[in-house]
Amino acid sequence: MEKRDIEIVDVTLRDGSHAMRHAFTEKQVRETARGLDQAGIRYFEVSHGDGLGGSSLQYGFSKVDELKLIEAAADECQQAQVSVLLLPGIGLKEDLQEAVKAGAKMVRVATHVTEADVAHQHISLGRELGLKTVGFLMMAHMAPVEKLVEQAKLFESYGAEIVYATDSAGALLPHEVKERVSALRDALQCDIGFHGHNNLSMAMANTVAAVEAGATYVDGSLCCLGAGSGNTQTEVMAAVFDRMNIETGVDLYKVMDVANGVVAPFMPRPQEITGSSLIMGYSGVYSSFLLHTNEAARKFNVDERDILVELGRMQAIGGQEDLIYDIAAQIAAAKG
């Protein structure tokens, strides 16, 4: 196995599920997985946008069963390994066991930044199943650095081999990322990861800041396909880190080819920083709320930015999607 300074973990087939309204086809997954494998990506994620078990009325139903997509992706891998996301309370331990049967080799157990303790049994199970096991602290901007470190230590004590600071809202700025990742690097023995969103156009800068502060796992998505304004762009990361003489093991031309030749044609829209996603980053709102907010604004004929600002004021977190429609209805009622 060749030496790499950092691992780029691609999340196109999981975070991109939000932007795709969870409608990935098996063909799209196979072609993307094959391209990522050939480009030298070692780990890439496949699941519903909200993780294993996320296909539901609350979060949106998947067009194709996620276990079938995991199996299809694993079937295309000669070198790469399939990762899955699991949010305790949405995904069950049985879902993870089924994902392993379908071919998953890594699990990333995600909790709100202050709730790492709910993940103990899931991280332990990941290790028992022989998976590369990761703790994923979401909405990292919502807690002081000391709290982030405290929660990260819990993940490490449960057996996490990597702990991520996750900028789910795309709200952090580079100096804030550096502060958080540096604190994690100083406090933990395990590897540190960073997952960014581009709502304030900071994803690439934040990812560079994370690596300079000691992160060795960083997430990206092809063509930025992901929730909100998308993630740090995988093919851009490959180019930037090559310019920085940081070894990723990723073939730049091949990863560009899968981005532009496979993913770009099936994207429902370009991953631009729209007024709504900009407000998400500005207000610190969970990126996967974007499409729900679009729909609520249309339904109640209100400005979606007003909904997002209120969600930010309320410090809403993942799992509180029902608030979006409540707020839209309240804004509409106040307008008369």
Catalytic residues: 18
Rounded CA gap, 12 and 301, in Å?
32
Q: Are strands 81-86 and 43-45 parallel, antiparallel or unpaired?
A: parallel
Please tell me whether 182 is known to bind a ligand: no
Phi-psi region of 86 (alpha: psi -120 to 50; beta: other; left: phi over 0): beta
Does 286 appear as a known binding residue? Answer: yes
What percent of the residues of the chain are helix, what percent strand, and what percent coil, each to the nearest 5? Answer: 50, 15, 35
- Encoded amino acid at 1, one letter: M
Q: Is 245 left (phi over 0), alpha (psi -120 to 50) or beta?
A: left
Q: Which of these, 274, 310, 302, lies nearest to 19 by C-alpha position?
A: 274
CA distances from 22 to 46, 116, 149, 196, 330 (A): 11, 26, 33, 20, 28
Task: Give the DSSP letter of residue 110.
Answer: E
56: closest CA among 324, 321, 336? 321
Specify the pairing of strand 191-195 against strand 162-166: parallel
The one-letter amino acid at 217: Y
**Alpha-carbon distance 219 to 208, whole Å?**
11
Q: Are 281 and 228 in contact (CB under 8 A)?
A: yes
Residue that has been written with the tokens 């519903």 in this structure? 48
| Residue 59 is assigned to a ligand binding site | no
Helix (H) / strand (E) containing 45: strand 43-45
Residue numbers in the known binding site for substrate are 14-15, 168, 195, 286
Residue numbers in the known binding site are 14-15, 168, 195, 197, 286
